[in-house]
Chains A and B, each alone.
Chain A
Amino acid sequence: MKKNFKLFWLFSTYSIKSAFQQRLGVVLFTLGKLLRFVVFFIFVYQLLSKTRFLAGYNINQTIVFYLTYTMIDNLGQLLFREVYRFRPLIVSGDFSGILIKPYHPFMRILIGGIDVLDVILTLPYTILLVYFIQKAGGFTFLTAIIYIGLIINSLVLTMAFHILVLSLGILTTEVDHATLIYRDLSRMGSVPMDIYKEPLRTLLTFVIPIGIMMSIPVKGLFGILTWNVFLYSVAFCIIFLIGSLTIWKKALMRYQSWGG
């Protein structure tokens, strides 16, 4: 565990150093991300200040949904950015060089390249999230614990999804679109799932499962989550992770390198 943490720290340091080789890019991308967040935030705020409610949630609650989505998405991007760079490793055969190293390949291909832009943005997102949770009210110590637990659950699901993408990378080399579709699907969770009509709502909540990742933690916070759904979320996450790891092992067996 200690060795893995040291490796994670080392890879992260390298990743940050390498990102800062292009300082202008870092500044512009951070600005762009911040701009996108602020403009959508203002849009939702402006809209709900007129309409008061969205699918039964008031303005502060709706913003908590949006900020929770932003936070989970941001942490996913921060931790698993290296997955976006997996395809060239497979195409070039350089992945073999990682497989022979004395550590688990996930240390390098899954969490081996944290995104410095998202590290910078985590702080303002956290401050805003805490502020709007307090403003929304309607939570207790227990529901706050459930909320944090379900966010961890969401991050495990995010990790499982990225492992699945890595497997797909070995089997088909199609990584880019898979990750982008995941991001677009998860963006549908930036608003409460309740706005979607059935059967799309059930599909998004329990099958795909954007709702489990983005919406259900907030419902847990506001104390409107049933225990059945809570247990389903945790069970789904465990099964999805086991499934992803199984597929990864099978994909790894089919990996073939070439060259010297």
Chain B
Amino acid sequence: MSTFINIIDVTINQYFIYRLSFVLWRFRNFLNLLLIYFLWSGVFVGKSQIFSYTQTQLISYILIVNITGAVVLSTRTHEVAGEILSGDIINYLLKPLGYSTYLLAKELADKFLNIIFSMGELLILLVLFHPTLAIVATPQTGALFFIFLVVGLILSFHLSLLLSLVAFWTPEVWAPRFIYMVFVTFLAGNFFPLDILPKQLFEFFMFTPFPYLIYIPSKILIHGTGTNVGSMLLIALSWCLILHFMVRVVWNKGMKEFSFFGR
């Protein structure tokens, strides 16, 4: 356990060594948040409701997405690809500590810092522009939000790791990740709540893992618990299992084929 905590500690300290990089990264997130916030505020001028959302609900959604996104999408798993390509992964595999434990500790440190900073950004926005928030604050929604948040986090971790494991076979690791990020930006509900899309398209996307990353947890806090929560949870958990299985298969196959020299 102490090793686990030490890795978290070292990871946080690493961030503080390169603190300018981290602050600039969060600043970039804040700029994107501003763009989306003002875009939606501008759309509502002279209108009380668009699609099925009031202005308060939509702005709340956008702000909650900022926090949910920081929890779910922040990850260090993209570094795995670099470690495979450079051969550095061998150093970790030789250590008396599971690589997955090592990754998990780094993930926790990363998420901890991103949550703190995204809360700060949200606070700045609240102080500057005084938007009214509409959140369904009941124990049920709180519990469901938390459950879907954890599910989203597991999904995001596996998806990102799976993309990094491609490095076992090809150095072309950034292009697939770029496409993945495009999908995440739009299909996870980063820019807009997915239910504003045409019904058939929305229903199709609900069978993919993307809406369960950000959209569903954030939506639950705005609109409360719906009648189809059970089926959504079932789909999300199925994706967790499928992706976990895929990561295991790809990792084992990659490990068998992996070779490196000169270390």
Contacts and interface: CB of A to CB of B under 8 A. Distances in A.
Contacts of A43: 186, 191-192
Contacts, number: 90
Contacts of B25: 177
Contact of B42 (A25, A32, A55): A55
A32 B178 contact: yes
Contact of B51 (A50, A185, A187, A194): A50
A29 interface: yes
Interface string B156-174: 0000000000000010101
Interface stretch (B31-39, B77-85, B253-261): B31-39
Nearest to A178: B24
Nearest to B180: A32
Given A29-B178, A47-B43, A184-B32, A22 B51 contact: no
A139 interface: no
Given A46-B196, A184-B32, A55 B182 contact: no
Nearest to B28: A184
A142 interface: no
Contacts of B20: 174, 177
A130 interface: no
Interface residues of A, number: 34
Interface in A149-189: 174, 177, 180-181, 184-185, 187-188
Interface in A192-213: 194-197, 200
A188 B30 CA distance: 11
A40 B190 CA distance: 12
B172 A22 contact: yes
- Consensus secondary structure, chain B interface: helix
Given A22-B172, A25-B172, A47-B43, A39 B182 contact: yes
Nearest to A28: B175
B39 A191 contact: yes
A31 B172 CA distance: 14
B120 interface: no
Contact of B38 (A39, A187, A197): A197
Given A51-B50, A174-B20, A177-B25, A195 B172 contact: no
B204 interface: no
Interface string A23-61: 011001101100110011001001100110111000000
A195 B32 contact: no
Interface string B205-226: 0000000000000000000000
B179 interface: yes
Interface in B21-77: 21, 24-25, 27-28, 31-32, 34-35, 38-39, 41-43, 45-47, 50-51
Contact of A32 (B35, B45, B175, B197): B175
A177 B179 contact: no
B38 A36 contact: no
B180 to A, nearest CB: 9
Nearest to B43: A51
A196 B45 CA distance: 12
Contacts of A29: 174-175, 178
A189 to B, nearest CB: 9
A190 B34 CA distance: 13
A121 to B, nearest CB: 14
Contacts of A24: 170, 172, 175
Nearest to B32: A184
B98 interface: no
B43 A36 contact: no
Interface of B: 20-21, 24-25, 27-28, 31-32, 34-35, 38-39, 41-43, 45-47, 50-51, 129, 170, 172, 174-176, 178-179, 182-183, 185-186, 191-192, 196-197
Given A32-B182, A35-B183, 13 more contacts: A28-B176, A32-B178, A35-B182, A36-B182, A51-B43, A51-B47, A55-B45, A181-B31, A184-B31, A191-B39, A196-B34, A197-B129, A200-B38
21 contacts: A24-B172, A29-B175, A32-B178, A35-B183, A39-B186, A46-B197, A47-B50, A50-B50, A51-B47, A54-B43, A55-B42, A55-B45, A180-B24, A180-B28, A181-B27, A185-B31, A187-B31, A188-B35, A191-B42, A194-B42, A195-B42
